Structure 1
Amino acid sequence: MAASDQLLVVIDPVARRTDGESVRIAKDVLSAGAATKVCLPEGPEEFARALIRRGARRPVVVGDDGALLRAVSLLHRRRELAACALSFVPVGGVSSLSGSLGVPVGAVAAARAVLEGAERRLDLLVDDSDGVVLGALRIPSLPSRPSAPVPAGAPGEETGGHPWLRTCQSLVRTLASRPSRLASAPATGPSRLRIEVDGVCVVDLDQPVEAVSVTPGEAGCGAEIEVRAVSAGAGSSPLRLLGHKVTVSGADFRYRADSVVSGPVRTRTWTVRESAWGLTLPART
């Protein structure tokens, strides 16, 4: 039996707790089609140790999108990602990331794709802190300040009734008149960011930005970048570009890389690594 036919099935503990039946089904399908060694890590350290000690076996991660992201991040940091084709069976949570990558929904279909599919090379976004993005990077606009609620018994409401009720209402009015942290917080709105694509500034700080998204495209084509600027007006088409290096800088901003929110940072650069990793997906017809 070839080494590629030997599977190391690493089952994330969250998947075992949330959907043990789907885990059992995935194990049965995989074991029926290949020689498998099953690992049941109890936490992130054991999860990482199992992947590191995989030997010649092909790793199959069973878990949610977070488990897939942890596996790719670990292999990237160890500089082993290029030589390791991953397989994935989504179990235990929403699988929007893996679904966008082409992984079938459902334990049976995904397990069969592991056995019958083929490795497909995919691009990867890598930032200047060695973080990775598999599906999408998003920088949303800053949240608008919510209106402060009007407390019961505020000035202008009719008072009366028992003395104890008037006392309570007086206390509420006193507290309501004090400035709260929420009320004193500065108003927020669209971000003011400088966005450079392949060294060329496409949006500068004088043009407020509502949202930015960067998504790895087809292998070798670079990333798809979309910028929605406030000045473009409602209903206007966003700015769309292709590029291999994106730098965002300006006021402190947070960003969502796949399902993980990071920041605040003042500047961050993402670079496309073409065909940087392999994922087993259903064969194209």
Structure 2
Amino acid sequence: MSAAQPPGDGAHQLLVVIDPVARRTDGESVRIAKDVLSAGSHAKICLPDGPEEFARALSRRGSRRPVVVGDDRALRRAVSQLHREREPAQAALSLIPVGAAAALELAHSLGVPPGAVAAARTALDGAVRRLDLLVDDSDGVVLGTLHIPALSALPGAVAAHTGVTAVWDTCRTLVRTLVRPTPSTPPAPPRTHRLRVEADGVLLNDLDRPVESVTVTSQGGDGGLAEVVIRTPVSEPVTAEAKAVTVSGADFRYHADIQVGGPVRTRTWTVRAGAWGLMLPVGEG
């Protein structure tokens, strides 16, 4: 992350976009955030019913600074919209995190304070931090971590084996265990897939060496580099830093933050240094 920058003269002209999931999940936190923001700014409140209205509200913000009330998906949706407008660097974004803990891991990892009151005060009086953005060749974005795991080896029928049959099988297994010891079974082999990974044109892994996972993480606004980690079942992880990472091979899926993408045969992610601004507490980072 680079040094904090004070917000401009329009800092207290706010567009507050409240994600519908946040309204359903925790209406009290939403109300508190609205009260704090309205008391400290000229806030225009928008209540979109879905992603299209969410994007439309942001695109019509004018000179108002956007504040999103919602979880990681809402944050990612907002940054994606700003990126499509090619204005993420000009629009400093604020987030009031509202949602389940598992849906706010990205926000908290970026330094957004937990709690509606603290986050709303940060939206009013915080400082802008420039953050890197990973952008792929289909114009998708990654705010934090890109992860390419090996595919599950379980067939769909086994994965869907639930309900009464599953309960009965569990009971039967427990009875057998109590009657006689169950012989130990060898651990399942690690799940792998074959991927070619290049970092700034340098080959890090080829198709002849199976990998368990590939992880690419943007490192903030310092130098515009991403950290690449390739894990294999037979050796130490391979690590590198790069501005662009290309992954290719058999059809693979990937996790861009909390969004699942693919399947694709090839994809390139490029670091855009300091490409978007997030309001964080003064002195953070």
State TM-score, norm by structure 1: 0.82
**Are the counterparts in 1 of residues 190 and 233 from structure 2 also a CA contact under 8 Å?**
no
**Residue in 1 that maps onto 2:94:** 87
Q: Determine which of 195, 198, 201 is the counterpart of 1:196.
A: 198
**Are the counterparts in 1 of residues 216 and 227 from structure 2 also a CA contact under 8 Å?**
yes
The Cα offsets for residues 242-269 of structure 1, whole Å up to 9 and x where unpaired, read as 1110000011110000111111111000
Displacement of 1:189 in angstroms is 3.5
**Residue in 2 that maps onto 1:173:** none
Identity level (%) = 65
**Residue in 2 that maps onto 1:229:** 232
Q: Determine which of 40, 49, 55 is the counterpart of 2:56.
A: 49
Q: Does 1:215 align with 2:224?
A: no
Query: Whole-Å Cα distance in 2 between the matches of residues 23 and 56 of structure 1?
Result: 23
**Are the counterparts in 2 of residues 142 and 188 from structure 1 also a CA contact under 8 Å?**
no
Query: Whole-Å Cα distance in 1 between the matches of residues 152 and 205 of structure 2?
Result: 21
**Residue in 1 that maps onto 2:69:** 62
Counterpart amino acid of 1:196? E
Q: Does 1:19 align with 2:20?
A: no
Counterpart amino acid of 1:95? L
**Are the counterparts in 2 of residues 145 and 188 from structure 1 also a CA contact under 8 Å?**
no
Query: Whole-Å Cα distance in 2 between the matches of residues 88 and 145 of structure 1?
Result: 38
Greater mean alpha carbon deviation, residues 244-253 or residues 39-48: 39-48
**Are the counterparts in 2 of residues 8 and 60 from structure 1 also a CA contact under 8 Å?**
yes
Query: Whole-Å Cα distance in 2 between the matches of residues 243 and 23 of structure 1?
Result: 40
**Are the counterparts in 2 of residues 65 and 96 from structure 1 also a CA contact under 8 Å?**
yes
**Are the counterparts in 2 of residues 207 and 231 from structure 1 also a CA contact under 8 Å?**
no
**Residue in 1 that maps onto 2:279:** 280
Q: How many residues in Structure 1 have an aligned counterpart in Structure 2?
A: 246
Secondary structure of the structure 2 residue equivalent to 1:121: strand
Runs of 5+ unmatched residues, structure 1: 153-186
Secondary structure of the structure 1 residue equivalent to 2:234: helix
**Are the counterparts in 1 of residues 11 and 124 from structure 2 also a CA contact under 8 Å?**
no
**Are the counterparts in 2 of residues 103 and 281 from structure 1 also a CA contact under 8 Å?**
yes
Structure whose alpha-carbon radius of gyration is higher: 1
**Are the counterparts in 1 of residues 220 and 274 from structure 2 also a CA contact under 8 Å?**
no
Displacement of 1:4 in angstroms is 2.1
CA RMSD of aligned residues (A): 2.1
Counterpart amino acid of 2:228? I
Counterpart amino acid of 1:247? T
Query: Whole-Å Cα distance in 1 between the matches of residues 259 and 221 of structure 2?
Result: 23
Query: Whole-Å Cα distance in 2 between the matches of residues 27 and 118 of structure 1?
Result: 20
Secondary structure of the structure 2 residue equivalent to 1:10: strand
Query: Whole-Å Cα distance in 1 between the matches of residues 99 and 220 of structure 2?
Result: 28
Runs of 5+ unmatched residues, structure 2: 1-7, 167-188
Secondary structure of the structure 2 residue equivalent to 1:83: coil
Greater mean alpha carbon deviation, residues 3-12 or residues 242-251: 3-12
**Are the counterparts in 2 of residues 62 and 89 from structure 1 also a CA contact under 8 Å?**
yes
Secondary structure of the structure 1 residue equivalent to 2:203: strand
